[in-house]
A = this chain, B = another copy of it.
Amino acid sequence: MDEQVKVAVINDLIASELDGEVVTDVTELEKLSNDAYSTIQAVELPITAVFAETVDDVQKVLAVARHHHVHIVTKGASTSVVSGSRGRQTEIILDLARMNSIIELNPIDQIAIVQPGVINNQLDREARKHNLFYAPDPGSKKISSIGGNISTNAGGMSSVRYGVTRDQVLGLKVVLADGRLIELGGRTLKQAFPYDLTHLFVGSEGTLGVVVEITVKLLPIPLGQPMVGIAFFTNLTEMMRAVSALRISGVYPTMLEALDGRTVSALDRFEGTNYATDNRAMLIFKLDFSSPTIMQKVREILVENKADNIDISDDPTRSAALMKLRDDMLPAIFAGKNHVMEDMALPLSKMAEMMDFVSEVAEQYHLDIYVAGHAGDGNVHPSFVWDKEAQMPSTVATAVGALFNKALELGGTISGEHAVGTQKSSWNNAELGDTVDYLQHQIKALLDPMNILNPGRKID
């Protein structure tokens, strides 16, 4: 990066009298230029960073970027796991964390309008005061922003029942690369007038525009007491048969989480429990609505599908204890270790095969991999772990490549809910084919002809 350009960019940003702040302190820039969950450790120092506070700020930053032909990377709460929001040396970090107001929460319309920096859990907590909730529950719920969730089309455990982020978005305000502010969608639950540009921006990882305001649905908290349960199976194939039977039975589970034998062992070590026998797979499930009929039905289905050690409860204390097993799963796996978690989604009929393949790959490459996933929607998350002091094993990249190829071969996708970032963007033609890959670039070129927005992420 030419030093003169850098100085000019910073001077122009300062001269544009932002409501927010221009960051030039190197230590702070180094911190900002990293993602909290990045596996790539190297840090490039960006030109500068701006804490935007208003839409006007966003427009001014884009104007400076266009003028100097430099790039923007938009940042929410820094929880990308695909190196989506790391700053690079040709970039201005556009940090939206301070745009964190809940502008409106309307219990009659059952919607909220928020700024992108609002933390997912913060909105959810506010909604619950009105017997509503914000459904998307990525693992990062407590720390990730709605803007970031929009950017990645974040999913979660309850997607099997309530859908992913995209399903909750009714409207967006977006600053386009050319600086224009547009409004897409609105606050009605049905919309059949426009082209669906609203959802084109959801999951576009900041490459098509800067989302500055979001209208989402809020859902009613289901009436009645939820039930939570666990059950064990000889292998993942048997488990997926039970998952399929549970799904199709019409009991509408809110959560169906699969843990392989190794993950169960890790959980035992962490909890002091004794669930791991014969490398059995574990299913943790939740239904938001229980009744004696439903509990009976669920138990029957599990027994028919050869589950054992079934434990189901609608008692709040016992339910919470069972839910804690799922909450503790990642801490149990990651305890004292470094890790990379991958993310693939498969047709439901192929999930067991994919999970078994992960174990084969682990053996082949002598890697320590734990496999868990959202079994209700075919979302597999293998976690690679290694010692805190050690380097990432050199075979991880090769192993991940093998998993991705297998997922595609089985009709799956190599990103179920974590998006693409810079880490998977070289897989575009493998996943999409050359024609759709090209079409995506046409859309990108239409909306951002100077390629100033998050270059290298998503599609490059």
Q: Which residues in A have some Cβ–Cβ distance to B below 8 Å?
A: 106-111, 130-132, 152-155, 159-160, 163-164, 166-167, 180, 182-184, 186-197, 199-200, 202-204, 208, 220-224, 244, 247-252, 289, 291, 293-294, 297, 343, 345-349, 374, 377-379, 411-420, 424, 427, 431-433, 435-436, 439-440, 442-443, 446, 458-459
Contact = CB atoms under 8 A, between A and B. Distances in A.
A41 B130 CA distance: 50
A346 B109 CA distance: 9
B188 A378 contact: yes
A121 B343 CA distance: 36
A436 B194 contact: yes
A294 B225 CA distance: 12
A274 to B, nearest CB: 33
A154 B193 CA distance: 11
A415 B193 contact: yes
Contacts of A203: 192, 194-196
A252 B252 CA distance: 12
Contacts of A189: 159-160, 345, 348, 377-379
A345 B439 CA distance: 32
A191 B436 contact: no
A305 to B, nearest CB: 13
B193 A424 contact: yes
Contact of A186 (B152, B204, B411): B411
The complex is assembled from copies of this chain, and their number is 2
A366 B415 CA distance: 58
10 contacts: A153-B192, A188-B416, A190-B374, A190-B416, A192-B345, A192-B413, A192-B419, A220-B249, A223-B294, A443-B446
A193 B420 contact: yes
A429 B160 CA distance: 38
A190 B378 contact: yes
A374 B289 CA distance: 25
A199 B424 CA distance: 22
A130 B244 CA distance: 12
Contacts of A196: 153, 166, 196, 199-200, 202-204
Contacts of A167: 163, 167
Contacts of A202: 196
A190 B431 contact: no
Given A132-B248, A155-B190, A419-B192, A197 B439 contact: yes
Between A159, A188, A197, A446, the greatest number of chain B beta carbons within 10 A of the residue's beta carbon is seen for: A188
Given A186-B411, A192-B415, A196-B200, 12 more contacts: A106-B349, A108-B349, A109-B348, A164-B192, A182-B436, A186-B413, A188-B345, A188-B416, A193-B420, A195-B200, A195-B203, A223-B250
A124 to B, nearest CB: 15
Nearest to A432: B194
A108 B244 CA distance: 6
A111 B378 CA distance: 13
B348 A108 contact: yes
Contact of A220 (B106, B130, B250, B436): B250
A110 B346 CA distance: 12
Contacts of A153: 191-192, 196
Contacts of A183: 433, 436
Given A193-B415, A195-B443, A297 B223 contact: yes
A111 B222 CA distance: 26
A281 to B, nearest CB: 18
B418 A192 contact: yes
Contacts of A252: 220, 222
A458 B195 CA distance: 9
A291 B199 CA distance: 37
Contacts of A439: 182, 197
A374 B192 CA distance: 15
A196 B200 CA distance: 5
A435 B180 contact: yes
Nearest to A412: B188
